[in-house]
Structure 1
């Protein structure tokens, strides 16, 4: 399959959005997320943590819910692209190890998921219009935390 320069550019720009999103979350740069999403974006974490909302809602949720997390790091790979004009969708593998503490003990757990992103090309370039986290697996989740997560 031969790609045009525009198709290659689109893929690189979209990949930068996925990576930028992960780095913003991992560095707790909540306002930095504004660079990656449309104003009316919907972010759906319902399968992983039971939350769906606007970017403003999710920024508040992340700041609050990740505050007690000692460390976390999103590792992404294996992205499928579907680009049709000014709209696109990707599916990307994400592995997210986290170190959590209940105050007396610490555990390192791992979430495995797929990011499914919808994009729209805007006057400022590609932006994420929808993010959906599709659950794949959870490993080593302590009981106290598992009780707070969707089944």
Structure 2
């Protein structure tokens, strides 16, 4: 196959991989992350108040950590991929509004915090397609994030 065509195909597949991650998280379908990450992937969410560890630990932690939010969305864009054969790296912008529950509000209501970050990824092509082998968050900004929330997330 033509090298330029293969680059386009790989970029498209990597973009779809990143979007599958976002939808699995936002739809709380954490089992679908098994088709996004390698079994031994390293994930570091500490930049935005989370934890770091290998994929199985992170997958177990996600429902607990995200379960406190009535709603959230991950908007990904500005995809930048560097592909080298069967490995690649990527930088992806993420805008992540998250609803903070309030005790005095009805179900689903609350204040919204806004998170801006980049995902710094490493990818590997497997027999089942591209997978994320490493994901690190790099903080850009947060708006309306309570300090107590950051501390609570790190204790989960």
Q: TM-score when scaled to structure 1?
A: 0.91
Q: Do the aligned partners of residues 81 and 145 (structure 1) sit closer, same or farther apart at CA in structure 2, a change above 3 Å counting?
A: same
Q: Deviations over 1:107-141 (max 9, x none)?
A: 10001000111001111111110011111100011
- Residues 39 and 56 of structure 2 are in contact (CA less than 8 Å); yes or no, is this contact kept in structure 1? no
Gaps of 5+ in 1: none
* Counterpart for residue 16 of structure 2: 16
- Residues 48 and 149 of structure 1 are in contact (CA less than 8 Å); yes or no, is this contact kept in structure 2? no
1:143 and 1:102 mapped to 2: Cα distance?
Answer: 15
Moved over 3 A (4+): 146-150
**RMSD, aligned CA:** 1.6
Matched residues, number:
148
* Counterpart for residue 135 of structure 1: 139
* Counterpart for residue 109 of structure 1: 113
- Residues 81 and 91 of structure 2 are in contact (CA less than 8 Å); yes or no, is this contact kept in structure 1? yes
Give SS of 1:72's match: coil
Q: Deviations over 1:64-96 (max 9, x none)?
A: 011110100000110111111111011011000
* Counterpart for residue 79 of structure 1: 79
- Residues 49 and 151 of structure 2 are in contact (CA less than 8 Å); yes or no, is this contact kept in structure 1? no
- Residue 59 of structure 1: CA displacement? 1.3
1:40 and 1:147 mapped to 2: Cα distance?
Answer: 27
- Residues 87 and 125 of structure 2 are in contact (CA less than 8 Å); yes or no, is this contact kept in structure 1? yes
- Aligned residue runs from structure 1 range 57-96, under 5 A: 57-96=57-96
Gaps of 5+ in 2: none
